[in-house]
Amino acid sequence: MTKYVSRSIIGISLGLLLWSGTGLATEPADVEKFVNARIEIGEMMTNYFKGGESYGSGQRPSPEKMKEMGDDINGKLSDLLSKRGLSLEEYRVRSKEIFADKEAVDAYLAKHPDLKARYDALPLSRMSGGGGSTGRGY
């Protein structure tokens, strides 16, 4: 009898979880906003470091230079994201959720081959965070 009750509780719990999950699909407008932002960020970061200052003779920049670069990048990111109605913090938090919905992202990109080509051309990075990440550090 206990085995039956346990299975029933597990079955009901999984059913509720699956049912509630279907209502939480990512909004197409959010997918569009975040995918376009990611493309623009990736292209901006590629251009930022392309042919720019390297570490010189194999040395890392000073802590002051690193801070300056970080502040500059955050300023550029904030400007770019504000054009899409996003803050840097909102993008950092919500992008994990948006890009975790791989089906929605892939469906959007399938409708926009020009954006898909740009998205696929973005460099991969080891700097990415966990869950739902595409391997890109932005």
For the residues of the chain, what is the DSSP string, one character each?
Answer: -HHHHHHHHHHHHHHHHHHHHHTTPPPHHHHHHHHHHHHHHHHHHHHHHTTS---TTTPPPPHHHHHHHHHHHHHHHHHHHHTTT--HHHHHHHHHHHHH-HHHHHHHHHH-HHHHHHHHTSPP-TT--STT--S---
Is pLDDT of 73 > 60? yes
Selected residue with higher pLDDT from 125 and 64: 64
Our count of domains for the chain comes to: 1
Residue 55 has pLDDT above 60, yes or no: no
- pLDDT above 60 for 3: no
pLDDT at 129 over 80: no
With respect to residue 17, please indicate whether it lies within any of the assigned structural domains: no
Could you list the residue range(s) of the whole structural domain that residue 101 is in?
Answer: 82-123
Q: What mean pLDDT, rounded, does the chain reach?
A: 78
Q: Is 104 within a domain?
A: yes
Q: Model-level pTM?
A: 0.69
pLDDT digits (tens, 9 = 90+) for 75-114: 999 999 999 999 999 999 999 999 999 999 999 999 999 9
